[in-house]
Every structure is written in structure tokens, then in C-alpha cells.
Structure 1
Amino acid sequence: MRGMLIIGLYLLAMLAHAGVAMSARDALRYRTEADPHGLIADMRQQLDKLGGSAAPAQERDLLWLMGTAAVNVNDDTALTEALLRLDSLAAARHYDLAAASAGFLRSRHLIASGNGDGISEALRAAAKVQDATDPKIIAWAKYNLCDAYAMSERASGAMPLCEQAQDAYRALGDTWSLAEAENDQGVNFAGLNQPEKAIELYQRSRQHFASLGAEQMVAMVGDNLAQMYLKVGRAKEALLLSQASLAQEQATGRISDALVSRANIALDYATLGQSARALSTISAAVDDARAAKMDGLLPELLERRSRMSEQAGQPRQALDDAREVIRLLGERNATTLHSDEVSLEARYATRENELRIQTLEHQNRLQELALKTAQAEAAEHVESQQRQALVGMLTKGVSVALILIAGLLYLLLRAQRRYAAELRVQALRDPLTGVDNRRAFMQRATALLGDDHAPRLTHVLMLIDFDHFKRVNDSAGHPQGDRVLSMVADYLSCAIVDVGHIARIGGEEFAVLCPRLGADAGLRLAETLRAGVAALSLPAAVPLDHITISIGVALFDGDRCHDLGSWMRAADAALYSAKSFGRNRVVASSLLH
């Protein structure tokens, strides 16, 4: 800790000499951008001195600074070291904040390099600290999610998170973090083609950084501002801002930021009519991005060079670049990554709802107590009125007022109970199809098997999976795939409405639970469902004749299927057999034979 204090005091002394007020914590954060290599060396030295004596929070703070600086300068060695130590700290101390820190660093690296799904990694990291009560941790998690969505050019997902982060940092008085969140919100408005709003956010961010004396951060945000100046016809001002930003980024070794600045400078040259200089600048940036393996930036750089090559009369280069952009974006938006991300977003939103339910239930309890207190006071005043007839109209007025307050509290309590009930339904409902989700299915099946009065040996479980569903997404796109899922779910729900319950337990996988149906009726129903789905007419936008499903059926026998886990494994094995034997068929578990 002493070494950290010396570093902080040294920086404060330098800043004080320059007439700048910056906290020791902000000074260290500033060094992740202004002196990343030096900060990495200092953090390593500090960690070595502390050895095993560091408190978990202190060790996590040092590793977070080191990892952040490593991402900024593309130092894979330092980043790997920080991630390994954070993972080790999280495992050894059961320290969720360390695990979340490692996840957010991985997310930033994936987004910067373009290798993998940075959004999903950020969602997993945020989930680690979703139950935190410390306002600083909550704000930190919101900002890092905001940053991941913004840097992935997902403005619609980023904007509410960035707004929440800004509100939280204003309340905490954290000017540095507020400036970072404002910069990200500017990126979002830029992505939505709202340059005037983006300019407002960037200028606000620069003012906050300037108030801390963080001139290099002012220049860095200035490069973002330059892009908006270019959109509103202020090309010369844009060029000056981008050149100032590039000089600082190259001096500090921030490769990724420098590449973005060079791309902006090329665009400035093109706008000012200097086409040859623009094409030379963007080509050099493309070559350097390839050398540094900054695949996350390549599509944007190549797209700009394609447009500039076309304007310069070089159609072959323009075509080659356009084809490579399509290939890179196709790899980035792979179906498996999309599915993982959607699933994680749903789980994160569900947990948010659960936390809101807990808060509402706590508020309901307080209001119940307030209601009881108001009722008791009303009764006491009524009794007092009876004993003291001389008080007259005044006492009656107070009694009526208290009764009205009690009535209002009762109405408010009832409204909040309805709201909490609606949230509980949302937490157990699949948002796409409207049927039960996996959590609701597990609760329903567990309750069914725990009912001693029900004849359990007649319960039927079906696991249903679509055949070759990827063809729908590949041929018609994910929106049409979602439409087909909803259409089939509606049919299945209607078909089993009198005998069972349906739930979506995975991407294209459903479960049907039929209490007391029996083996013969269960197999007949499964065959009806299979044939019914195959006969459905698909939407006109889906260029396929039909869609089919495979079904695995298992009976709860109390022996080999003696609990929910063994029951589901039996149904899953039957489903696997249906897939293996050619799909579009019903296969019963061996327990039915």
C-alpha cells in the first residue's frame, strides 16, 4: 500500500505544480490512457512487493488498472497475467468482484480484436455482481455493460445502460467516470446518426475531463467529436482535433485508438478534396491493423478504403475491400454467438426483475405495517371520540382523515401486489413465445413429483426439438426464425391445453408435461403433435415447404425414472434416438416398452 501511496502522491505533486486538481484514484486511471506501459510496470512492482499480504480488494484494484492499461496498448502478455491473477483471486477468495473484473477485461479485448462475442462476456461478468448493494459496484457494472454495447455499435442496447451509469456517477460525485459514460453516450448518438446530440455529449465529456486536468482524455474524446464535426460540415476543425488526438495516442502506444484517429484523418482529407492523401492514409491504417491483429477495426477501415478507392477510380480495390468487409461481418455475427448473447440477455433481464420483485415485496411489507398502524390509530381515535364527546367535530375530522389515509394505503398496497404478481409472471414466461420458460417448467415438474396424492406412475414427459432449424434462420433471417418458433409454440399450446403444460427450455427445444396421462395416450398425443407441426403452413417469407420436429417421450415409473433428473435424461435419450433415426419422428424411452 505504501508503494501505491508514493505513486499517487508523486502524480498529485506533478499535477499540483501544473495547477490541476485530480484525486490519486483519478491520476491512476489517467495513467491507463496517458502512460499505460509505465503503469503496467508500476502495478507489477506493487503486486510483487505486496506478495500474499494484499487484501482482496486492494489486489483486485491493482490488477484492474493493469488489465485496463494492457487492453489500451494491446499488451497480450500483461493482459493474460492480469486475467490469470484475477481468476485465481476469484476462485481462492470466492470474490465475485474479481471474477466480474476479469470478465469485463476479456469483453473489452474481444471487442477490440474482433475475436469472439464481447457482449456475451460482458453480460456474464455483470451477472457476477448483479446482487451487489454497493452503489459504486452497481454503477461500475452498468458502465462496463454500457461500454461493451457502445463499442460493439449496439446503440439501442447501450443507451439505457449509459444513462443509468451517468445518473449513478452524478449521485456518487465521480466526475471521471461520468465523463467516460458521457463519451460512450455520444458514441451511441453518433451510431444513431444524431450528430448534434453526439456533439453535446462529447463536449460535456471533454469539459469534465478538462476540469480534472486530464488533457490527453480531452484530446481522445476530441477525436470522437471530430467525426461529428465532419458530419455537420466542419471538416477543418475535425482534422485539427483528430491530428491532436493521434499525436497523443502514438506517444502513449494506444494502437487501437491511433488507428481510429488515422481513419478519421483520412476521411477529413477526402472531405477537403485531398483524395490521394486520404487513400494513402487509410491504406496505411489497414496494413497496420492487420499487422497488429486488430480484427475488430478491420471492417470499418476496409469499408472506408472501399469508398475512397471507388471515388479515386480504383474499382478493383473497392470491390475486394467490400467483399472482405462482408466476410468479416459474417464471421462476427455467427448464429451461435447470437444465440448465446440472446440467452444471456434474457437471464440478466430476468434477474433484474427478480431483484425488483424483492424490493417491491419489502416495500409491501413496510406498507402493510403502515396500514396496520393507521388502522390502529383510527380505532384509537374513534374510541377517544366516544370517551371525549366534548372534542366534537375536530376529533371526527381527524378520524375521517386517518381512515382515508388507511384506505389510500390499502389501495396502494393492492396495486403494488398486482405489479409484483405481473413481474413474477414475466420471470416465469418466455418473452418470445409467451409459453413457460425453463424455470417455470422446473418448478411445475418438481411440484408435480412432490405431490404424494397424485398417481405419479402415469405422468408423461415429452422433449421436443426442431429439425434443421438453422435452415430457417439461414434462408429467411432470425426475425422469421423467431416468427416460426412462436407459430409452432402457439399450435403446441392449443393442442395440449386440456392435458398438459408446455415450456420453452432452450433455443429451439420445448418440453411438454402431461400429468396422469398414461403411456398409450402420451404416445398418441406425441404423434398428433409431430404430424400437426409438419402440416403447418409456414410464412411466405420462409422459402421452405414445411418444418418438422422430433419428440422423445418418457413415463415416470418410480424406478429407473425416480426423480426429475433421471426422468429428463430418459426423455432426452429418446429424443436423441429420434434425431439419430432420421428426425421427424416420435421415439419412446425404453422404459415404455
Structure 2
Amino acid sequence: MAVWLLAALAHADGVPERYAQRYRTVSDPHGLIEDVRKQLDTHSETLPPTQERELLWLMGNAAINSNDDAALAEATLRLDSLAAARDDTVASAAAGFLRSRHDIENGDGDGLSEALRAAAKMQDVRDPVVAAWAKYALCDSYTLVEDARNGLPLCQQVQMNYRELGDTWGLAEAENDEGANLATLNRAAEAAKAYERSRAHFRSVGADQLVVMVGDNLARMYLELGRAHEALALSQASLAQEQATGRVSDALLSRANIARAYEAMGRRADALEQMKTTIADAQAAGKEGLLPDLLQTRSGMAEKAGNNALALADAREVIRLLADRRSPALRSTESALEARYVTREKELRIRDLEHQNRLKDLALKAAQAEAERQDEARRRQTLSSMIAKLVAGGLILIAALLFLLLRAQRRHAAELSEQALRDPLTGVGNRRAFLQRASALVRMHGDPRQPPHVLMLIDFDHFKRINDSVGHPQGDRVLAVVVDHLRETVGKFGHLARIGGEEFAVLCPHFGAEAGIRLAEVLRAGVAALPLPAEVQVEHVTVSIGLALLDGVRCSDLDGWMRAADAALYAAKSYGRDRVVASALVS
């Protein structure tokens, strides 16, 4: 039955049967949706849960590609029902990944959080196919939100998984996402090579429409490399295919690339007109997630054309859209989920090492027992004493080597455990270390005779501008210099930790409100006056600080303490940045 159902859907010409269904989500999304509906309606009673889950995943992807919200809602609801009825964690994660991709493309800021929650459900899965699928889905979400620092290493890891599985299609998709992440990092030549590898793999399995689709991504890199005419031809071919198959989001991106090619060829009026209709169609289709990139592109074109009013209006709209989508509270949620995901990955690695250590320990004991048995045999068999000595010596040597290997493995596991509490870029504690220390302070709070604990949340002001202007490597250097200053200033008064991106926290046990506000002002003023190395090309940087007390009455638990400090930080940002704001609970 299951094989017949798969075959009923797999009628993509020239594509191997194992990839035919995935191909139809792009080449014939509407047809695939109807076929899946028929199969589910006809065989709902006898369909195996695994097969039903695969069909619904295909249907959801086809629905997103064709902008069919009704079909997407049907697919996710059925996946949720399957997850509840069968306790199917994979079905629950599949529904989460589908909602994540839809939300990101439509401008809902919670889309990445949805993907991180879905990926966390899959971290204990042992099936290599399911594990690779889940990591690719998270890699794709990072790519869609242009978080290249997290997306690029994950996409490269997924490529290795798919090579081991012999999945050419999955490899090609991961290479396409690698290209997008490299493009975000302004590494155009490397991105073009990744896109070309992706096209070659899609071509090898007969997926001609995917070759054309990735060609549109390659076109944008050709523009960066001065090959405008080649870029225009690739984007026009991709647009014709996307409009024929009803892929709304891909078509909008191709039209924007055509406009960029027009501008590179000196056809500025055509470029602005193309962007005008593209933006209007994106708004009409509800593709809010694409608008910041489209508006930023038109803003740059308008500025070059001398239309400063349009350039300024588009730039302001981009700022508004990004601010609505990336509030401090949402960034905090994403950082927490991301830290939890990364920590769990390290814990799984540690668990594997500990399992290997136990196996080696057993092997060591077995070798020692065998050595003792051989030694006893030697004493009983005087005629073969020389042979027994050689064998026993060899076994003792093996035992010693195993012992050294076991000790090295244990040392490696201990190092990983320590790394799990340290931020690799700045060397200060990470979010996990912060939460452990803050939870301990909450538990030990209770003596009213001592000053209350102080929590400061510190966020860099306009740090994205630094990354955008001088690049992420120089941005990281600025971050490291400032953090060294913060760590030295905080000193013995408290503990500094990085809890996400450019957000840091300081915990000062039994410090009190007056001392806390004084220290916060010293930190803020010190950062504002801090000289930065000339080679980073940044004159100065400022921070905003929110402060809250654990007073045991109005703020008595970790969640309330964090919310009070976050609200104070948000107020500091709202009042103009480069300032300290204490929570209302301090007064």
C-alpha cells in the first residue's frame, strides 16, 4: 500500500523516483496538493502514520511554494492531530518547521523561535535520515532570516550528513542555502561556487526547474561580480518558470533580481518601475518577510537616481518593519532557545564520549583479566614460559594504551563541559552559566539585613550598523574590546555573562540599589569613552543598561527579575540609548 501511494504521486519526468515527490513541490505544487488530498481521503484508515506524515510534509511545502494558505493550514493541523494521536514527535516538529517557514516569509518575527522549538524536539532522534532532515530545516530557517553566522556552519554540517546518506537532492538544497549565507556575508565569489555546485547536483538528478531556480540566486552573485547580462538572462528564465508553476515568493525575488540587473546595465527608470510593481505585489500577497530586502533595494536605487524622498521613505519603512519584527523580548526568546539547542548538542556529544569511555573501561578490565589469566597459565606451563611472557607483555601494553586513551577521553569530556558554560567569542560566561548563577542567587536570597542582589542587562546600541558597515569580523573585534573593558570594570563586584548576540548581563550579589546604579553609570560612561583600535574603523560605541533588584517582595523569582531588568533596558533604548534606567521596582 505505502509503495503504491508513493508511486501514485511520483510522476515527475526525468527525476529518480526517490526525489520525484520533492521535485513536484516546486514543479507542480497545485497538482501535488490535490493528489495528496485524494490519497489521504481514500486511504485515511489504512495509511501508516509514517507515510501520512511524509505526505503532509510534501503538501505543506507545496502550499508554501504556491501561497496556498488553506492547504498549509490543512497540512499543519493534520500533522498536529497525528502528533497528538500517535505521540509522533516528528510530526509535531514537521508542523513547527512548516509554520516557521510560512511566518518568516510573511514577516512574523516569531518564525525563527518556532523553528528552534521544532529542532529541539529532534535532538535525541537516532535515525540519521530524520536527524539530517531536522538540521536542514533549521539551517533553512536561519538562511531565511539572514542569520549567516548560525546558518552557514549548520548548512555545511548538513551537507556532510547528506553525503553520508547518499542523498543528492538534500545535498543540493543545503548547498543552495550555503550560497545564500555566504551572500549575506558579502562573500560573492564563494557564494557563486556554492550555487554552481547546487545546480550541478540538481542537474545530475534531472531536476531542471531547480537548476533554473538556483540560477536566479546565482544571478545576484553575477551582479556582484560584474556579469550583469548573464545575471539578467538567469533571472528572466527563473521568473518565467516560477510564474508558470505559481511560486509567488520565488517569483517576487526573481523580479527584484531583474531590477538589479537593469540598474547594473544603466536602465535606472526600468529598475525603479520593476521594483515598484514587485513591492506592490509582495504587499498584496502578504509576503511581509520579503519587504525589508525589497524596500532596501529600491531605496538604494532611488538614491542613485536622485529621488531622495523615495529613498528616505523606503529606508524608514525598512527600519519600522525590522523593529516590529525584532523586539528586545523576541530577541531574548530566540537567544534562549538557540542557547538551549546548542547546549543540548554539546550534552549529546558529551554523552557519546562518556559512552565510549565506558566501553573502553570495559575493554581495559577485560584486557587486565586476560593478562592475569595468561600469567597464571605461564606459571602452570613451564615449557611455554617464553611464549606466555610475550603474550602477557603484549596484553599489558594494550591495557596501558587503553588506560591512556581512556584518560584522554575523560579529559576531553571535562573540557567540553567547561566549554558549555563559556562564550567562545568573548571568553565570559554564556547564557547557561548566567542562568545557573542567577538561579543560585534567587535560592539564597532571604536575609533582609543584607542588600538585595542586582541584575543589569546591557545591550550595545546600533550594533547592526557596525556589522553592516565594517563587517562581522571587525564587529566581533569591537565586541571583544568592549567586553574586556566591562569584565575589568565589574571585577570582583559581580559576574559578567553574554546571554545572546550583543546582549550581556551582570549579576552583583548583595550589592544594593545605590551601588548598583553607580556601577552601571561607570560601565556606561566607560564604554562611551573607550578608545577603539584604529584598524576596526569604528570611532566609538555606546551601550544601554537596564537594572533591577531581587527584593523578595515585588521581584522575588528569576522570571520576574529578568522581566523587570528587560523592561528597564527597553526603556533605556526608548529614551534615546546610551543611558542607565533602573526598574520602577528599585525606587
The two structures have a TM-score, normalised by structure 2, of 0.80
Matched residue type, 1:322: A
Instruction: Return the alpha-carbon distance in structure 1 between the equivalents of residues 306 and 485 of structure 2.
Output: 50
Is 1:104 matched up with 2:97?
Answer: yes
* CA 1:94–1:268: 2 relative to 1, 3 Å: same
The one of 171, 175, 178 aligned to 1:185: 178
The one of 262, 270, 287 aligned to 1:269: 262
Is 1:437 matched up with 2:430?
Answer: no
Instruction: Return the alpha-carbon distance in structure 1 between the equivalents of residues 71 and 521 of structure 2.
Output: 58
TM-aligned CA deviation for residue 42 of structure 1: 1.8
* DSSP-derived class of the 1:130 partner: coil
Instruction: Return the alpha-carbon distance in structure 2 between the equivalents of residues 545 and 178 of structure 1.
Output: 42
Structure 2: gaps of 5 or more residues? 467-475, 530-540, 569-581
* CA 1:503–1:406: 2 relative to 1, 3 Å: same
* DSSP-derived class of the 2:186 partner: coil
Is contact 2:496-2:506 (8 Å) kept?
A: yes
TM-aligned CA deviation for residue 407 of structure 1: 1.4
The one of 88, 98, 113 aligned to 2:106: 113
The one of 297, 316, 322 aligned to 2:315: 322
The one of 203, 221, 230 aligned to 1:228: 221
Greater shift, 386-395 or 335-344, is seen at: 386-395
Instruction: Return the alpha-carbon distance in structure 1 between the equivalents of residues 326 and 26 of structure 2.
Output: 30
Query: In structure 1, what is the equivalent of residue 527 of structure 2?
Result: 540
Is 1:22 matched up with 2:21?
Answer: no
Deviations for 1:76-100, whole angstroms, at most 9, x for unmatched residues? 1211222222222222322111111
TM-aligned CA deviation for residue 355 of structure 1: 0.9
Greater shift, 535-544 or 348-357, is seen at: 535-544
Structure 1: gaps of 5 or more residues? 450-455, 514-521, 556-566, 588-593
TM-aligned CA deviation for residue 252 of structure 1: 0.7
* CA 1:351–1:487: 2 relative to 1, 3 Å: farther
* CA 1:536–1:355: 2 relative to 1, 3 Å: same
* CA 1:397–1:61: 2 relative to 1, 3 Å: same
Matched residue type, 2:268: S
Query: In structure 1, what is the equivalent of residue 302 of structure 2?
Result: 309
Query: In structure 2, what is the equivalent of residue 551 of structure 1?
Result: 549
TM-aligned CA deviation for residue 547 of structure 1: 6.0
Is 1:259 matched up with 2:258?
Answer: no
Query: In structure 1, what is the equivalent of residue 7 of structure 2?
Result: 8
Deviations for 1:539-588, whole angstroms, at most 9, x for unmatched residues? 33289999674433559xxxxxxxxxxx9659969x989x99x858779x
Query: In structure 1, what is the equivalent of residue 207 of structure 2?
Result: 214
TM-aligned CA deviation for residue 72 of structure 1: 0.9
TM-aligned CA deviation for residue 314 of structure 1: 2.9
* CA 1:446–1:405: 2 relative to 1, 3 Å: farther
Instruction: Return the alpha-carbon distance in structure 1 between the equivalents of residues 282 and 498 of structure 2.
Output: 43
Greater shift, 440-449 or 117-126, is seen at: 440-449
Is contact 1:461-1:511 (8 Å) kept?
A: no
* DSSP-derived class of the 2:206 partner: coil
TM-aligned CA deviation for residue 537 of structure 1: 4.2
Instruction: Return the alpha-carbon distance in structure 2 between the equivalents of residues 495 and 118 of structure 1.
Output: 39
Query: In structure 2, what is the equivalent of residue 405 of structure 1?
Result: 398
Is 1:204 matched up with 2:208?
Answer: no
* CA 1:447–1:540: 2 relative to 1, 3 Å: closer
Deviations for 1:9-66, whole angstroms, at most 9, x for unmatched residues? 4744x63xxxx2511x421111111111111122222222233543322222121111
Matched residue type, 2:492: C
Query: In structure 2, what is the equivalent of residue 419 of structure 1?
Result: 412
Is contact 1:428-1:439 (8 Å) kept?
A: no
Is contact 2:60-2:72 (8 Å) kept?
A: yes
* CA 1:311–1:475: 2 relative to 1, 3 Å: closer
* CA 1:489–1:384: 2 relative to 1, 3 Å: same
Is contact 2:547-2:583 (8 Å) kept?
A: yes
Query: In structure 1, what is the equivalent of residue 47 of structure 2?
Result: 54
Instruction: Return the alpha-carbon distance in structure 1 between the equivalents of residues 433 and 455 of structure 2.
Output: 15
Is contact 1:371-1:406 (8 Å) kept?
A: yes
Instruction: Return the alpha-carbon distance in structure 1 between the equivalents of residues 306 and 517 of structure 2.
Output: 59
Query: In structure 2, what is the equivalent of residue 369 of structure 1?
Result: 362
Instruction: Return the alpha-carbon distance in structure 2 between the equivalents of residues 222 and 214 of structure 1.
Output: 13
Is contact 1:170-1:178 (8 Å) kept?
A: yes
TM-aligned CA deviation for residue 135 of structure 1: 0.4
* CA 1:375–1:49: 2 relative to 1, 3 Å: same
| Equivalences, count | 546
* DSSP-derived class of the 2:549 partner: strand
* CA 1:101–1:276: 2 relative to 1, 3 Å: same
Is contact 1:530-1:586 (8 Å) kept?
A: no
Matched residue type, 1:183: N
* DSSP-derived class of the 1:551 partner: strand
TM-aligned CA deviation for residue 295 of structure 1: 1.6
Matched residue type, 2:259: A
Matched residue type, 1:32: T
Query: In structure 2, what is the equivalent of residue 332 of structure 1?
Result: 325
Greater shift, 132-141 or 420-429, is seen at: 420-429
Greater shift, 389-398 or 251-260, is seen at: 389-398
Deviations for 1:99-154, whole angstroms, at most 9, x for unmatched residues? 11111111111221222132222111100111100001110011111111122222
Query: In structure 1, what is the equivalent of residue 349 of structure 2?
Result: 356
Matched residue type, 1:552: L
Is contact 2:482-2:527 (8 Å) kept?
A: no
Is contact 2:429-2:497 (8 Å) kept?
A: no
Alignment of 1:237-248 (within 5 A): 237-248=230-241
Indicate the RMSD between aligned Cα atoms, in angstroms.
Answer: 4.2
Matched residue type, 1:293: G
* DSSP-derived class of the 1:540 partner: helix
* CA 1:249–1:412: 2 relative to 1, 3 Å: same
> Which entry has the higher C-alpha Rg, 1 or 2?
1
Is contact 2:460-2:543 (8 Å) kept?
A: no
Matched residue type, 2:550: G
The one of 139, 148, 170 aligned to 2:141: 148
Instruction: Return the alpha-carbon distance in structure 2 between the equivalents of residues 159 and 255 of structure 1.
Output: 26
Matched residue type, 1:232: L
Deviations for 1:177-218, whole angstroms, at most 9, x for unmatched residues? 111111111212222233332222222222222222211111
Query: In structure 2, what is the equivalent of residue 138 of structure 1?
Result: 131
Is contact 2:438-2:507 (8 Å) kept?
A: no
Instruction: Return the alpha-carbon distance in structure 2 between the equivalents of residues 491 and 301 of structure 1.
Output: 43
Query: In structure 1, what is the equivalent of residue 338 of structure 2?
Result: 345
Greater shift, 95-104 or 504-513, is seen at: 504-513
- Percent identity between matched residues is 50
Instruction: Return the alpha-carbon distance in structure 1 between the equivalents of residues 267 and 447 of structure 2.
Output: 81
